[in-house]
Structure 1
């Protein structure tokens, strides 16, 4: 291939890759075969329980979403009486996300929809956070809850992907500063 055509193809390849990134990308669940290898069973054993990768993906999302919501609810239910509920909820969210990086990415950094479990757990958690967000904005607690979730998500996502950065504070300190700043505005 002549050098000029090679440069043109490089530009086309680069531009095409950029265009493809204009759409959100799915985060992959491990393949059925890789799970079978890790469990030291035949692939047919996995297919017996999960006929397709979509079935496996749905089961993984259900389990992980339920675990995340349960973790946040337990933290809120078990918090000391003098602890700020929003700070506790945010700390539990961030801690779960950082300790379950692949699951967190699958749940919240993928273009794929959440599973049916969200019909049970999602509104329950959302309602609880909205209720707590009245401390931030009594007139519009839903918007305040979305703002909180956006910042908690950013805190988890950036820490998962930018481990080399000097954050200057722990995730718990960042969450406490966030809650304090929102309550004083």
Structure 2
């Protein structure tokens, strides 16, 4: 079995980012349906951020003349039994993305692809913030005496950078 190339992994990750975007829409919708507007708003924004990540990867592939194939995505989870379930899912998703980005970085390095390696550095930095944000949100939810405590925390605090980072790579078609 051959090891996937950096470009193969990048194509797969485009699909993973779109899948994460869709999953975050499902999470946001679930929170919205539970009358938790702050959590809903947070995850609607996260969905856009994940979409932008996919579009950054597409822009990179276009700029490097790498064939772009948009993979399909698996079905998302829509039903949750408690407020912590979607947060656990989100944290696990971000941890998986971190492992994927690390693998892409290693692949670029092993292929002596300095541009690919450099491109992945921004995503590695981004994943530190993503995992930390989801960990904090889950911790707050687990410690909260009631759901309003979580809502108040999100309304009061800044969690992550909200997808606004001037050092971010360009997104194909422009970031939303």
* Larger RCO of the pair (alpha carbons < 8 Å, separation 6+): 2
Structure with larger Rg:
1
